[in-house]
Amino acid sequence: MYFSLESAKENFIWAGGIENTFVPQTRPGHRALDEYELMGHYENWREDLRVAADLGLNALRWGIPWYKVEPERGKFDWSWIDRVIPYLVEELKILPIIDLMHYGCPFWLKREFANKAYPELVARYAAEFSNRYKDLVHWYTPLNEPIINALMCGMRGLWAPYLKGERGYIRIMMQLAKGIVRTVESIAAIQPDSVMVHVEATGLTRTIREDLAPLAREERHRGYLCYDLISGRITHDHLLYSWLVRNGASPDDLQELRERKIDLDVIGMNFYPQWSTKQLYINEKGEIAFREVEHEGKGFVELITNYYERYRRPIMITETSAVGSVEVREKWLESSVSMIRRLREKHVPVIGYTWFPLFTMIDWRYRFETGPLDDYYLELGLYNINRKAPRPRWIETPLARKMKSYIKNSREMVGELANTALPI
């Protein structure tokens, strides 16, 4: 199934996603976090994908567990993927947007993202995938959410390689950026018509104090960091250049990224109303702190507009959903889709919308705690897990029925993309 970027101007992409976080490495007090395994997707993939097709989706974000397909360095096992992708594309007629890297590295890659060889090794893995599935897959996400990856692996020391602080954060971010660039280069050499959807955890940082406004501005630019790195925007006069170099980023590495800069085919924006807008303030201890605000997601339009004005590239909402009851989720579905229509009417080229995840997922707290799996079910999706019986596996919520109606009446719901000078 081939779907060009040009065709997205006429055919809005209604997508879903199956949560595919892979953090297999453990240490004392930490459990492995493989969402496919914990939610039974490895065994029930056919049923899960069929539900996505029955919903009417024309695309699906779906991830590859690198640590499983390359269990030994240079030795690949594609046996499971060989069954899933043809079914998704040839039988269900769904466009796969392949998450090549949704966090986890193979066990044999010592120091994981901090390993100097990581950029070349992840690009080699991507090339192996591209070579094998080039007739079926054309849309890729080279790496999901660099910000969260660098935060968990490099700032907070919660995921391997367990670095901490700003130096750790920047070390991981630089490695991720190099890996993305090399991944894009390796796939483009095999599939010149491939489309790269660069997915980031996007958000707004606000403050009500005028004296904190420069800090809020810097935080917003930190949100742009990976996009700026891979598109060659980090020059000596960039707002973050001094911060990067003081914390370990090599000027030579920054120069290399500028020289190897890549085009951003699609800006993939992840936004969750309860988590994605933060207010910067001074807490009771006199320290700079952040709190989540605007849980109704009213900054959604502003955020998307900001990213479009900065990069002038097509936008796809690659993750959104809401925490809470079915009613809370349904309200966000209604309001977010209506905002997409407003943006398209204002010449902002939003080409797709992804409810993520489609199904119940496991809260990441599971990795750090000891309770039974059932205690960590997180309901963000259009379908809830059936907790009373093994079948049916999924219980449809009113959100699924509403999404079906939106997809069926796509032009009415999101309108036509107004004429824009943007080349797609």
**pLDDT by residue (tens digit) across 310-345?**
999 999 999 999 999 999 999 999 999 999 999 999
Domain ranges of the chain: 6-414
Average pLDDT, stretch 192-221? 95
Q: Taking all residues of the chain, what is their mean pLDDT, rounded to a whole number?
A: 96
User: For the chain, what is the HEC assignment?
Assistant: CCCCCHHHHCCCEEEEECCCCEECCCCCCCCCEEHHHHCCHHHHHHHHHHHHHHHCCCEEEEECCHHHHCCECCECCCHHHHHHHHHHHHHCCCEEEEECCCECCCCCCCCHHHCCCHHHHHHHHHHHHHHHHCCCCCEEECCCCHHHHHHHHHHECCCCCCCEHHHHHHHHHHHHHHHHHHHHHHHHHHCCCCEEEEEEECCEEECCCHHHHHHHHHHHHHHCHHHHHHCCCCCCCCCCHHHHHHCCCCHHHHHHHHHCCCCCCEEEEECCCCCCEEEEEECCCCCEEEEECCCCCCCHHHHHHHHHHHHCCCEEEEEECCCCCHHHHHHHHHHHHHHHHHHHHCCCCEEEEEECCCCCEECHHHHHCCCCHHHHEECCCCEEECCCCCCCCEEECHHHHHHHHHHHCHHHHHCCCCCCCCCC
Does the pLDDT at position 282 exceed 80?
yes
Does the pLDDT at position 418 exceed 80?
no
CATH top class, domain 6-414: alpha beta
Average pLDDT, stretch 59-81? 98
Does the pLDDT at position 176 exceed 60?
yes
**pLDDT by residue (tens digit) across 141-166?**
999 999 999 999 999 999 999 999 99
Does the pLDDT at position 423 exceed 60?
no
**pLDDT by residue (tens digit) across 37-62?**
999 999 999 999 999 999 999 999 99
pLDDT at position 1 is: 60
- pLDDT category at 7 given cuts 50, 70, 90 is confident
